[in-house]
Amino acid sequence: MKLQDVFNAYNNYIMPTYTKFPLIFVKGKGSRLWDIHGKAYLDFFPGWGVGNLGHCHLKVMSAVRDEISKLIFIPNNYYHIPQAKLAKEIVFWTYPAKVFFCNSGAEANEAAIKFSRKFGTGDRYEIITFENSFHGRTLGALAATGQKKYQDGFSPLPEGFKLVKFNNIEEVKKAINLEKTVAIMLELIQGEGGINVAERDFVLELRKICNEKNLLLIIDEVQTGIGRTGKLFCYQHYGITPDIMTLAKALGGGLPIGVMVVKKEIADTLGPGMHASTFGGGPVICKAALAVLRAIQKEKLLPNAQKMGEYLFLKLEELKNKYPIIKEVRGMGLMVGIELNMEGKIIVEKCQELGLLINCTQDKVLRLMPALNITKKEIDKAISILDSVFSFQLSAVSRQLKAERSLKNY
């Protein structure tokens, strides 16, 4: 297919639901991506949070190859070994629990919402969620999402969600109705919402309230999970255990997966026929996820994420001291937000021209989530590209100010 034919096919045959950059990628390896012209990019936002091992990790590739030649799919009314192994492995790294397999983050959150309603036995169904949160695009997950821009035009959304301010325990307390409230659902670092980190005391208090009032604490680790913050799961930084955790994105190493992990003592709330997902936990994806979890341990990616995260923060703080365009650097491990005093779109585009892929969320927050196996050399390269882009932007702003001043004097 010629270049223009690819763009034409997208325009003519694919619904325009994504804002796209005109880049066609053909190959990936580690933190590198190559476009159709052979230009190499350093990917500091691999797969929108999917690429915690980078692109095409050898162990994931060989696990998939191995399983695909044996058994591509088997439905959930039979047993297969990769699903049994993956469930055991997830529970080993988390807490005594049972899991439900599905295919995406939204689907895992839908499962958590349905689970909570069943747990509330029809009387209690309300879930408290937070401003600026993001839980997915399906109707239930969308209703839980605390951003109006994603909900506009899709009403009526399912009822039963109460939105309160993030990190504000008094608002949470006020929102609880003992007859109706069944759960509190949150991301410990709001990713799409702008890399907003939950305060430790706030989370500890949420856990305490949930214990006292028999509410479920649902932690959405779709973006923060699988080593992203330097621990395998972000809740482990806070010294709490969720009642329900949802996972997706990086767990599949590039293949689609979603998981709801529910504390063992309540897990049988959902029985046969109450919830299902045809493709959930198929053999190929389970083998891929097992390879991801093993690679994280074997290749010591958690300590690397911690160390490289610290280094990246240090370098970004240096840039912050140099460029007043940067308002704040925040995050945890390798989940990093750079809040700007200006729109970030132009910075993302300029970085792209110079071969660095990053993201911008909430208009002004640059989001960097490099692979957990990122090296110091790769970070230095990314920092030098950001440095040139900020420097260019700074001189553009001062040129503009000068021009405006001389126009005034004229």
Ligand X SMILES: Cc1ncc(COP(=O)(O)O)c(C=O)c1O
Chain residues binding ligand X by CB under 6 A are 104-106, 109, 134-136, 187, 191-192, 220, 222-223, 248
Least separation in angstroms between CB 135 and ligand X: 5
235 contacts 219 by C-beta, under 8 angstroms = yes
Nearer to ligand X, 67 or 187 (CB): 187
The DSSP symbol for 251 reads: G
Q: For the beta carbon of residue 406, count every other beta carbon within 10 angstroms.
A: 9
Q: Which of 87, 42, 137, 17 is nearest to 354 (CA)?
A: 42
Total Cβ atoms within 10 A of residue 34? 15
> Minimum distance from CB of 239 to ligand X (Å)?
21
Between 97 and 222, name the residue whose CB sits nearer to ligand X.
222
Cα–Cα distance for residue pair 135/267, rounded to 1 Å: 21
Helices (H), 21-104: 58-68, 81-93
C-beta of 222 vs 379, nearer to ligand X: 222
Could you write out the DSSP letters of every residue in 189-209? EETTTTSEEPPHHHHHHHHHH
**Least distance (Å) between residue 350 CB and ligand X:** 25
- The least distance separating ligand X from the CB of residue 288, rounded to whole angstroms, comes to 15
Least CB distance to ligand X at residue 133 (A): 8
Distance of CA 366 to the CA centre of its chain: 14
The answer to whether 161 and 183 are in contact (CB under 8 A) is no
Residues in the chain: 410
What's the distance, Cα to Cα, between the start and end of the chain in Å? 55
| Edge-to-edge strand ranges of the sheet holding 97-102 | 97-102, 258-263, 244-247, 216-220, 181-186, 126-130, 161-164
The least CB distance from residue 193 to ligand X, in Å, is: 9
Q: Could you give the dihedral angle defined by the CA atoms of residues 210, 135, 127 and 96, in that order, rounded to the nearest 10 degrees?
A: -40
Q: Decide whether 315 or 330 has the Cβ nearer to ligand X.
A: 330
Shortest Cβ 134–ligand X spacing (Å): 5
Min dist CB 191 to ligand X, Å, is: 5
Q: Measured from the CB atom, is 126 or 220 closer to ligand X?
A: 220
When the beta carbons of 164 and 383 are compared against ligand X, the nearer one is 164
The CA distance from 342 to 390, in Å, is 11
Tokens linked to 80: 């297969």
CB of 285 to ligand X, least distance (A): 13
**Chain residue whose CB lies nearest ligand X:** 105
Q: Is 15 left (phi over 0), alpha (psi -120 to 50) or beta?
A: beta
In the complex, least distance from residue 43 CB atom to ligand X, rounded to whole angstroms? 17
Is 57 or 135 the residue whose CB approaches ligand X more closely? 135
The tokens of 100 are what?
């439900």
Nearest to residue 379, comparing CAs of 279, 276, 296, 309?
309
Mention every residue, 6+ apart, whose C-beta is less than 8 A from residue 203: 188, 238, 240
CA distances from 86 to 21, 257, 358 (A): 36, 12, 31
Q: Give least dist CB 221 to ligand X, A.
A: 8
- CB-wise, 189 or 290, nearer to ligand X? 189
Nearer to ligand X, 110 or 378 (CB): 110
Q: Which is nearer to ligand X, 63 or 234 (CB)?
A: 234
Residue closer to ligand X by CB (options 83, 223) is 223
With beta carbons less than 8 A apart as the criterion, state whether 135 and 141 touch: yes
Sign of CA dihedral 353, 332, 19, 56: positive
